[in-house]
């Protein structure tokens, strides 16, 4: 996910210099002091000079509280520019203590809290700014950005929409709202917002870059490149723009162009971690493992302090790829993604090949048991092409890598599925590892995740509790395992029941009706499975993260199943790195349209391997 850059918060803080000057001019008795310290405090070219001048003003108790508050606010932003957020937050808190009715200072505090990841604290500060000034667009916009980073996408949309009502010509708000639509999976609305941002600001680089990413997520790589080309044409010194275009070229299979863009990104931003990793992935696809290794090592040894989401992701990928190279196993061949996807829900996939059986000495890590379910033959909605094939091959793969018991269930009705889970719970109690793999339909209703048996009708949303199987019930079947509990869910497909499902009031709003008697709230229904919280010693791996669909394969197998089967037998790669490899392989095969996501963590006292050397 593209992290919203910090500038969107910091740009709202330029008011502090103006505030400080205004206060100084309104306080003639301190004119001499201001000639010495005032200009230095609010200037932005030399942070250390600004901090020293602001400090002298703050320490002068003869100054009015409003003057010291403004100086504290300015010193806050100077520390923020130095990335010293601990001091920045402390200064902004002091500024709001001295001038609690200054909405600008609360805005500044919110921005700094956001940048240290204190999203709740940031929202509280923005709330205060908006309470003081209900039409404060910068505070509303910034709060929307924090809701976005916190993952509260609906609340982010509400704030950005309100900000646009107050400031309808602000292109940055359209761009920011477009990023939220992207993360909600509503790509058409995202493109509409970025297109409006470009109409309002024809040279808006970020809007072109964001729209290019959306075209890629829609499967149109050529259109993505047109927008990315335009972004670079406007600003030929944007390392991030070259990096993004390099990814698109790599997905498309134009590896020479990809290398050129990654290299240009590194010229513009030396030690750019993600660009090193991109070059490593490109050399892998070119069949040059030695050069790939060199690039991954450069990423890990980078002295860069840039640790954005993209950089952290690049480091995780580099570590996993080096582990795979160390294993000696040949990397899978992943064909280039189509320049333009023929389907919104499927993509061409190679046939998954079950690995050869590994020697028993390499397989043992205690007693390991698995339940594999593939639901393809739905009775009341169209059948799914992949799950039965995926389940057959997954079961065979787990047997090949030494699982002691593998139970295979195909096209389960609800009663059969519940009985299978009940019996598996008995096996899990006698095991060190317990694993469930499920392929089929999944659905989230009012925050609860369900797996859908083949006989479900789901004519009414409340029927899900009677006709589907709660994911919590699946998790409960694993509870007895002594060391590792693992769930793999290829169930994030579009909900085929949605077009005909009748919505009813959620229990908590059933009594809240308008005077006309109509229901004013209904159960929420997600596109696929929703976020899950898991306890220690448990991993839950979704085939696609929230807001995305898990694509079907146009061959026998889904992209997720292919990636798991081709990576799970890689020897001596720790299990978290295995699923990082799976994630990267799925993204490579789908041009980033589908990104698997892992929830949970494992105890640090022991490493887990599907196959040992």
Residue 240: which of 6, 83, 78, 45 has the closest Cα?
6
Rounded to the nearest integer, the mean pLDDT of the chain is 88
Tell me what the mean pLDDT of segment 245-268 comes to. 97
Tell me whether residue 229 is in a domain. Answer: no
- Local confidence band at 604 (pLDDT 50, 70, 90 cut-offs): confident
In terms of domains, do 401 and 486 share one? yes
The Cα–Cα gap between 388 and 408 comes to 10
Confidence of residue 44 (pLDDT cuts 50, 70, 90): confident
pLDDT greater than 50 at residue 188: yes
Torsional class of 447: left (φ above 0), alpha (ψ -120 to 50), beta (otherwise)? left
pLDDT at position 18 is: 38
In this structure, the number of other CB atoms found within 10 A of the CB of residue 168 comes to 11
Q: What is the dihedral of CA 59, 108, 105, 142, to 10 degrees?
A: 180
In order, the DSSP letters of 543-581 are: SS-TT-PPPEESSSS-HHHHHHHHHTT-TT-BHHHHHHH
The better pLDDT of the pair 310, 519 is held by 310
Confidence at residue 82, expressed as pLDDT on a 0 to 100 scale: 86
Span 604-611, average pLDDT: 87
In a domain, 348, yes or no: no
Please indicate, yes or no, whether residues 442 and 589 belong to a single structural domain of this protein: yes
Nearest-angstrom CA–CA distance, 611 and 433? 13
Residue 181 lies in a domain: no
Domain contains 47: yes
Statement: residue 470 has pLDDT above 50: yes
In sequence order, the 6+-apart residues with CB closer than 8 A to the CB of 566 are 332, 352, 353, 585
Residue 192 lies in a domain: no
Of the candidate ranges 88-97, 333-342, 348-357, 597-606, the one whose mean pLDDT is the lowest: 597-606
Which letter does DSSP use for residue 609 in this model? B
Shared domain for 322 and 449, answered yes or no, is: no
| C-beta separation of 280 from 273 below 8 A | no
Q: d(Cα 452, Cα 464) in Å, to the nearest integer?
A: 8
Q: Cβ atoms within 10 A of the Cβ of 539, count? A: 20
Task: Average the pLDDT over each of 204-218, 391-405, 533-547, 580-594 and give the range with the smallest value.
Answer: 533-547
Tokens of 264: 């240009």
Query: Is residue 287 predicted with pLDDT exceeding 60?
Result: yes
Distance between CA atoms of 400 and 360, rounded to whole angstroms? 10
Q: What's the pLDDT band for 308 if we cut at 50, 70, 90?
A: low
| Distant-in-sequence, close-in-space partners of 582: CB < 8 Å, separation ≥ 6 | 541, 560, 563, 564, 567, 596
One domain, residues 324 and 373: no
Residue where the block lists tokens 């982010």: 156
Q: Is the pLDDT of residue 28 over 70?
A: no
Specify the long-range contacts of residues 445-452, CB closer than 8 Å, at least 24 apart: 445/523, 445/524, 445/525, 445/526, 446/506, 446/523, 446/524, 446/525, 447/524, 447/530, 448/472, 449/529, 449/530, 449/532, 451/373, 451/375, 451/417, 451/489, 451/491, 452/375, 452/378, 452/491, 452/497
Contact by Cβ (8 Å): 319, 579: no
344: tokens are 């919104």
Task: Check residues 496 and 144 and name the one with the higher pLDDT.
Answer: 144
Please identify, among 274, 303, 331, the residue that sits at the C-terminal boundary of a domain: 331
**Are both 450 and 597 inside the same structural domain?**
yes
Same domain assignment for residues 384 and 432: yes
**pLDDT attached to residue 503:** 74
Measured at the CA of 222, the angle between CA 217 and CA 223, to 5 degrees, comes to 65
Q: How far is the C-alpha of 201 from the C-alpha of 158, rounded, in Å?
A: 23
Q: Across the beta sheet with 469-470, what order do the strands follow?
A: 442-445, 448-451, 469-470
The model's confidence at residue 314, banded by pLDDT at 50, 70 and 90, is very high
Identify the sign of the CA torsion 14, 17, 20, 25: negative
Q: Distance (Å, rounded) from C-alpha 321 to C-alpha 573?
A: 10
Please report the pLDDT score of residue 462 as a whole number. 82
Task: Tell me how many degrees the CA angle 365-367-371 measures, rounded to the nearest 5.
Answer: 115
> Considering the domain boundaries, does residue 446 fall inside one?
yes
Q: Is 613 helix (H, G, I), strand (E, B) or coil?
A: coil
pLDDT of residue 3: 40
Q: Which pLDDT does position 579 carry in this prediction? A: 97
Same domain flag for 323 and 404: no
Question: Residue 158: its pLDDT value, please?
Answer: 97
**Residue of 183, 608, 571 whose CA lies nearest to 366:** 608
Residue 47 is inside which H or E element, if any?
helix 47-59
Alpha helices of 429-558 — where are they, by DSSP H? 464-467, 471-478
Domain count of the fold of the chain: 3
Please report how many Cα atoms fall inside a 13 Å half-sphere around the Cα of residue 486, on the Cβ side: 23
Q: What pLDDT digit, counting tens, does each position of 476-493 carry?
A: 999 999 999 999 999 977
Do strands 442-445 and 448-451 pair parallel, antiparallel, or not at all (unpaired)?
antiparallel
Q: pLDDT band for 39, please (50, 70, 90 cuts).
A: confident
Residue predicted with more confidence, 500 or 592 = 592
Q: Are residues 24 and 151 in the same domain?
A: yes
End of a domain among 133, 152, 168?
168
Looking at the fold, whether 380 and 312 belong to one and the same domain comes out as no
22 pLDDT more than 70: no
* Per-position b or e across 385-408, b if 16+ CB within 10 A of its CB: bbbbbbbbbbbbbbbbbbbbbbeb
108 occurs within a structural domain = yes
For residues 334 and 134, give the distance between their C-alpha atoms in angstroms, rounded to a whole number.
53
Element (H, E) at 39: helix 39-42
Query: What's residue 525's pLDDT?
Result: 57
d(CA 187, CA 185): 6
Confidence of residue 267 (pLDDT cuts 50, 70, 90): very high
Q: Is 357 within a domain?
A: no
- Tens digit of each residue's pLDDT (9 = 90 or more) over 56-80: 989 888 888 888 899 999 899 898 8
Give the pLDDT of residue 310. Answer: 79
* Phi-psi region at 347: left, alpha or beta (left = phi > 0; alpha = psi -120 to 50): beta
- Residue 219 zone, left/alpha/beta (φ > 0; ψ -120 to 50; rest): left
Same domain, 55 and 113: yes
Kindly tell me if the per-residue pLDDT of 5 is higher than 60.
no
Mean pLDDT calculated for residue range 493-510: 66
Q: What is the mean pLDDT of residues 154-177?
A: 97
Rounded CA-CA distance 337/592 in Å is 10
**CATH code of the domain in which 257 resides:** 1.25.40.10
State the maximum Cα–Cα separation within the chain, in Å, rounded to a whole number: 87
Answer with the one of 287, 310, 331 that is the final residue of a domain: 331
Report the pLDDT value the prediction gives residue 119, as an integer from 0 to 100: 94
- Same domain? For 548 and 592 the reply is yes
pLDDT band for position 315 (cuts 50, 70, 90)? very high
Helix (H) or strand (E) holding 589: helix 575-590
We report the CATH number of the domain holding residue 373 as 3.40.50.1460
Give 338-392 as a DSSP string.
PSB-S-SSEE--PPP-PPPPPPHHHH-SS-EEEEEEE----SSSPPPSSHHHHHH
Confidence of residue 507 (pLDDT cuts 50, 70, 90): low
Regarding whether 163 and 246 lie in a shared domain, the answer is: no
pLDDT at site 311: 84
- Which range marks the domain in which residue 151 is found? 7-168
496 — phi, psi (to 5°)? -75, -15
Burial 37-48 (b: 16+ CB within 10 A, else e): bbbbbbeeeebe
């Amino acid at each position: 996910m593209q992290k919203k850059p910090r500038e969107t918060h910091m740009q709202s803080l330029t008011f502090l210099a103006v505030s400080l000057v205004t206060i100084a001019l309104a306080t003639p008795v301190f004119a001499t002091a201001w000639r010495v310290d005032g200009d230095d405090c609010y200037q932005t070219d030399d942070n250390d000079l600004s901090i020293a001048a602001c400090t002298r003003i703050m320490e002068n108790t003869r100054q009015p509280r409003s003057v010291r508050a403004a100086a504290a606010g300015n010193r806050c932003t100077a520390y923020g520019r130095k990335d010293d957020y601990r001091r920045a937050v402390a200064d902004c808190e002091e500024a709001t203590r001295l001038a609690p009715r200054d909405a600008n200072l609360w805005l500044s505090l919110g921005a700094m809290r956001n940048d240290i990841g204190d999203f709740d604290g940031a929202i509280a500060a923005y709330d205060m700014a908006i309470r003081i000034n209900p039409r404060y667009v910068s505070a509303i916009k910034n709060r929307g950005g924090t809701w976005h980073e916190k993952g509260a996408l609906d609340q982010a949309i509400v704030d950005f929409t309100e900000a646009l009502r107050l400031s309808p010509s602000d292109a940055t708000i359209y761009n920011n709202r477009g990023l939220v639509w992207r993360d909600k999976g509503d790509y058409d609305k995202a493109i509409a917002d970025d297109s409006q941002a470009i109409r309002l600001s024809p040279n808006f680089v970020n809007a072109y870059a964001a729209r290019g990413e959306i075209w890629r997520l829609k499967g149109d790589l050529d259109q993505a490149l047109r927008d990315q080309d335009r972004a670079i044409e406007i600003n030929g010194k944007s390392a991030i723009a070259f990096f993004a275009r390099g990814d698109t070229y790599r997905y498309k299979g134009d590896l020479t162009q990809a290398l050129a863009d990654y290299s240009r990104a590194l010229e513009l931003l030396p030690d750019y971690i993600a660009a090193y990793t991109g070059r490593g992935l490109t050399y892998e696809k070119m069949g040059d493992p030695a050069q790939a290794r060199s690039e991954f090592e450069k990423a890990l040894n980078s002295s860069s302090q840039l640790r954005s989401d993209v950089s952290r992701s690049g480091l995780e990928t580099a570590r996993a790829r080096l582990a795979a190279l160390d294993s000696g196993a040949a990397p899978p061949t992943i064909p280039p993604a189509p320049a333009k996807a023929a389907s919104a829900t499927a993509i061409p996939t190679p046939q998954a090949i079950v690995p050869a059986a590994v020697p028993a000495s390499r397989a043992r890590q205690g007693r390991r048991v698995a339940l594999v379910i593939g639901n393809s033959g739905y009775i009341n909605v169209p059948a799914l092409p992949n799950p039965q094939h995926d389940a057959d091959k997954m079961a065979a793969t787990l047997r090949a890598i030494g699982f002691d018991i593998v139970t295979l269930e195909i096209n389960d009705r609800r009663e059969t599925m519940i009985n299978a889970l009940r019996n598996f719970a008995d096996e899990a109690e006698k095991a060190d590892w317990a694993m469930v793999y499920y392929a089929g339909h999944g659905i989230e209703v009012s925050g609860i995740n369900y797996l859908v048996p083949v006989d479900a009708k789901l004519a009414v949303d409340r029927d899900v509790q009677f006709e589907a199987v709660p994911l919590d019930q699946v998790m409960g079947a694993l509870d007895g395992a002594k060391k590792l509990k693992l769930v793999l869910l290829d169930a994030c497909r579009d909900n085929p029941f949605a077009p005909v499902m009748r919505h009813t009031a959620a229990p908590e709003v059933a009594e809240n009706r308008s005077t006309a008697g109509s229901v004013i709230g209904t159960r929420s229904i997600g596109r696929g499975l929703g976020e899950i919280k898991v306890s220690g010693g448990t991993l839950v791996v979704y085939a696609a993260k929230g807001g995305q669909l898990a694509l079907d394969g146009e061959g026998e197998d889904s992209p997720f199943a292919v990636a798991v089967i081709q990576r799970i037998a890689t020897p001596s790669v720790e299990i978290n790195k295995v699923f990082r490899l799976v994630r990267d392989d799925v993204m490579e095969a789908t041009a980033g349209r589908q990104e698997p996501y892992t929830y949970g963590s494992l105890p640090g006292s022991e490493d887990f391997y599907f196959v040992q050397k």
